[in-house]
Amino acid sequence: MSDFPTTARVVIIGGGAVGASALYHLAKAGWTDSVLLEKNELTAGSTWHAAGNCPSFSTSWAIMNMQRYSLSLYARLADEVDYPMNYHVTGSIRLGHSRERVMEFERARSMGRYQGMDLEMMQVSDIKDRYPFVETHDLAGALWDPDDGDIDPAQLTQALAKGARQMGARIERFCPATGVSRRGDEWIVHTEKGDIACEKVVNAAGYYAQRVGEWFKPYGGRTVPMAVMSHQFFLTEEIPELAAWTRDNGRKVPLLRDVDSSYYLRQDKNGLNLGPYERNCKAHWITPDDPMPEDFSFQLYPDDLERLEWYIEDAMARVPLLGTAGVGRVINGPIPYAPDGLPLLGPMPGVPNAYEACVFTFGITQAGGAGKVLAEWVTEGQTEWDMWATDPRRYTHYTDRDYCIAKAIEVYGHEYGMHFPHHAWPAGRDRKLSPVHDKIVSLGGQMGAYNGWERANWFAKPGDDTSEEATQTWERAGPWQARIREECEAVRDHCGMLDLPGFSRFKVYGPGADDWLRGQITGALPKVGRCGLIYFADDRGRILTEMTVAREEEDRFILVTAAAAQWHDGEMLKSRLPADGSLSFEDWTDRMSTLIVTGPKSRDVLSGLTPGDLSLPWLSLQDTTVAGRWAALVRLSFAGELGWEIHAETADMPAIYDAVLAAGAKPFGMYALNSLRIEKGYRAWKGDLSTDYTLFEGGLDRFVKLDKPQDFPGKAALLAEKQRGSAKRFATLIVDAAECDAPYMSTVWHNGQVVGETTSGAWGYRVDASVALAMLRADLAVPGTELEVEIYGDRRAATVQPDTPLWDPQNERLRA
């Protein structure tokens, strides 16, 4: 009689390191009735040929959290499950060729220290003490990571699998999943051995994730945004000098990364392992003559060392020892890439009770943390850390095949690239265009992509350096600086206009919409004809999202939110609608566009273009026309000046834009808007507003109504926090910054202790100061408190400001 499981609580499709970690962590959470399916043997995909490097380094707060957790897990896992593993903690040295690279290292070191890691900056003169075989004459500095090293990917996977089995979870090897279907609220996962009915399902299929994702399309899914790249590394034969050094010192040399040349070099036994990320890289399985095979288990691509020639020569010059040994073995295998190089980890867009844990480019070092995060999503519906950086819903429908391939090639070839604040990566652009895109470009618009939407970051004038090279800096200064100042001054003194396509826009209406929405948000709703901010919390009272709500009728609402939040917020709203179908939900994102018109002269500019009542107060809403086209005129300004948002049909926006421009408004861009909103203390989604913070910590007390009769998600948690007090509090800082403003997650110090982090920062051109928004230890969020903000390794004096906007603290200009 077969003991094949016909039911399970969760089915995981894919038996690599990530899938095994997901099963292990689900079992640890008590969900032992979980099953993992693997078409071949465990590790048969990318895990099998992975190099197994284990860095903690990242400049992403979420990824660093995940990798830090992984390494702490791997250090104890062998003993916990009684499965020996080859895990070598050798430390690593990242070499920097430039001041800009050393500044990036300083930023990562600061973030890592905040998370409890001991990253250290190294002087060039100290590098040979830890790695005697390296040439250092042309270096600017280096970063030491004592926790870095390498692990055997197969042993790691087997250890996680053993731990999961010990807790009662099941693994079915040589059991290919062949499809999925729905039966009521259940998933049926079809396999060659039979069907498994389950509550939830996880796509952990690695480089086959897109193929598995197709099974979910009939149930609301989309094509998984990914491409498969060929990653090639080779192992040398034994090197006698390396063997002797290892014998004499009792350890391996550290892992070396020359990130500016773009490769890693690691000791493997008594030889070296060189793994470049070459610019002339190659995507696979994208042409008719190179189709994706049905099964690529334990297989590799043909060797192609010629395309690595420059990198090999550069590495031999850096570590001449490398050139003394022959090539022992070449590994050339598939690695999946999402368009930004980060994994897809979280709810599967559009599909109920389905999740993704796939497209891991660095799956070995991230597997431990990924399993933890995935298990939290599945069992709790929320995660300890804000994981928007990996959330599959961060992409929407613009990620077609060509886009994914172009971005994968770009990201792979710049795997160690620095992400400068004013740099826009050029591949995969122009996916979603404003109806006035060409006009904006003709006016000098320097564009950036926001959830695929092209928006002007700043407007150049003839003679300005608009080259990509000019943006390779962490500093505030650049050809954009004078233009941003001019744009901010136009908004301050006259009237600015910002074309803002892509706002996520939803309509909810029907009998009882008022009561329903009150029960979802933490605060109050505006009256008919009015608008305001509303906040949604998770059940811990943390900030899930912010929306602007406009109330057209008693039970008819327009909800507007960030461009990037379209799928995140849309799915959250739909999942909470009454089951009886009494309310209607519509996504109007692509149907409408928005023009911001703001500044003290904005009423004068608009007065000749609309019959609307421009004397209506702040936060009013009216249906009218602008330039003869229907528009919703909303008296709001994220810039903090007198102003309106013009919401109109996409096809009508060119006429409106031209009319406002002709009436004297000056175009401004996203960089200026960021400066203007920070001066007002206005929060940005997934920067200042994230699930890392509760609403009270975020300083959003006025948007929390604990005395309203409706229960809402997070009410109990917020009530408890109100009684005990908050651990952190939001504050605005004036920073004595030098050339750079505070980036996201800059560490804040007080009397030699870490006491908080910045959530955003920019130069304020109206207040003529560097401003940072920050989360601080609650007792320090007091006006006048003297602090330090660590900006790329440089601690700069900062002062906590009063809990009012820096610019126009009484909002007199806004309400004029």
Tokens 């949604």 belong to: 536
* Euclidean distance between CA atoms 318 and 569, whole angstroms: 49
Say if residues 130 and 93 touch (Cβ distance below 8 Å): yes
> Is residue 495 classed as helix, strand or coil in its secondary structure?
coil
Say if residues 20 and 42 touch (Cβ distance below 8 Å): yes
Longest dimension (CA), the chain: 86
Tokens 């500095």 belong to: 141
Say if residues 555 and 731 touch (Cβ distance below 8 Å): no
The pLDDT of 431-443, averaged and rounded, is 97
Please list the helix, strand and coil fractions of the chain in percent, rounded to the nearest 5, in that order. 30, 30, 40
Residue 519 amino acid letter: G
Q: Examine the pLDDT at 690 and tell me if it is beyond 90.
A: yes
Token pair for 162: 């053993």
Residue 282 amino acid letter: K
Q: How does pLDDT run across 360-373, given as a tens digit for each residue?
A: 999 999 999 999 99
| Residue 461 CB partners (closer than 8 Å, separation 6+) | 444, 483
- Give how far the C-alpha of residue 688 lies from the chain's centroid of Cα atoms, to the nearest Å: 14
- Give how far the C-alpha of residue 693 lies from the chain's centroid of Cα atoms, to the nearest Å: 16
Say if residues 383 and 377 touch (Cβ distance below 8 Å): yes
DSSP codes of every residue in 211-279? HHHHTTGGGT------EEEEEEEEEEPP-HHHHHHHHHHTSPPPEEEETTTTEEEEEETTEEEEEE--S
Token pair for 713: 């998600």
* Euclidean distance between CA atoms 155 and 17, whole angstroms: 9
| Residue 748 CB partners (closer than 8 Å, separation 6+) | 733, 754, 755, 756, 757, 758, 774, 776, 787, 788, 789, 790, 798
Phi and psi angles of residue 188, each rounded to the nearest 5 degrees, phi first: -115, 115
- pLDDT number for residue 2: 67
The pLDDT of 600-613, averaged and rounded, is 98
Token pair for 62: 């979420």
Token pair for 683: 């929060």
Say if residues 68 and 369 touch (Cβ distance below 8 Å): yes
Token pair for 545: 């999202």
* Euclidean distance between CA atoms 407 and 417, whole angstroms: 13
The pLDDT of 375-391, averaged and rounded, is 98
Q: How does pLDDT run across 695-743, given as a tens digit for each residue?
A: 999 999 999 999 999 999 999 999 999 999 999 999 999 999 999 999 9
Average pLDDT, the chain: 97
Say if residues 263 and 308 touch (Cβ distance below 8 Å): no
Helices 153-166 + 61-81 axis angle, to 10: 70
Task: Say what percent of the chain tops pLDDT 70.
Answer: 100
What does the DSSP 8-state code read for residue 55? Answer: -
pLDDT-derived band at 161 (thresholds 50, 70, 90) equals very high
The pLDDT of 548-558, averaged and rounded, is 97
Say if residues 546 and 559 touch (Cβ distance below 8 Å): no
Q: How many residues does the chain have?
A: 816
Q: How does pLDDT run across 297-322, given as a tens digit for each residue?
A: 999 999 999 999 999 999 999 999 99
| Residue 233 CB partners (closer than 8 Å, separation 6+) | 51, 273, 274, 275, 276, 330, 331
Q: Examine the pLDDT at 1 and tell me if it is beyond 80.
A: no
Other C-beta atoms closer than 10 Å to the C-beta of 312 total: 18
Query: Which is nearest to 234 in space by CA: 94, 51, 45?
Result: 51
Strands (E), 657-779: 666-667, 728-735, 747-750, 753-764, 769-777
- Give how far the C-alpha of residue 679 lies from the chain's centroid of Cα atoms, to the nearest Å: 24
Token pair for 92: 């690593």
Query: Which is nearest to 566 in space by CA: 587, 580, 538, 551?
Result: 587
* Euclidean distance between CA atoms 625 and 726, whole angstroms: 47
The number of C-alpha atoms within 13 Å of 543 and in the hemisphere containing its C-beta is: 26
- pLDDT number for residue 509: 98
pLDDT-derived band at 333 (thresholds 50, 70, 90) equals very high
What does the DSSP 8-state code read for residue 620? Answer: B
What does the DSSP 8-state code read for residue 39? Answer: S
Answer positive or negative: Cα dihedral of 324, 327, 328, 332: positive
The pLDDT of 176-205, averaged and rounded, is 97
Q: Examine the pLDDT at 106 and tell me if it is beyond 50.
A: yes
Other C-beta atoms closer than 10 Å to the C-beta of 556 total: 16
Other C-beta atoms closer than 10 Å to the C-beta of 41 total: 13
Tokens 């290919």 belong to: 176
| Residue 665 CB partners (closer than 8 Å, separation 6+) | 495, 496, 497, 597, 599, 602, 605
Token pair for 152: 């055997």
pLDDT-derived band at 206 (thresholds 50, 70, 90) equals very high
